[in-house]
Copies of this chain bind each other. A is one copy, B any other.
Amino acid sequence: MVLLEFSMSPLNKGDSVSQYVARSIDIIDRSGLDYRLHAMGTIIEGEIDEVLAVLKACLEAMAADCDRITCSAKLDYRAGYSGRLQTKVDSVEQKLGRRVKTLGSASSEQDS
A-to-B contact residues, CB < 8 Å: 2-3, 5, 7-9, 11-19, 21-22, 25-26, 29, 34-41, 43, 48-49, 52, 55-56, 59-60, 63, 67-80, 84-86, 88-89, 91-96, 100-108, 110-111
Contacts and interface: CB of A to CB of B under 8 A. Distances in A.
A9 to B, nearest CB: 6
Contacts of A22: 92-93, 95-96
Number of copies: 4
Contacts of A43: 38-40
15 contacts: A9-B70, A11-B11, A14-B68, A16-B68, A18-B95, A19-B95, A21-B92, A22-B93, A40-B88, A48-B59, A52-B52, A52-B56, A67-B79, A72-B74, A85-B106
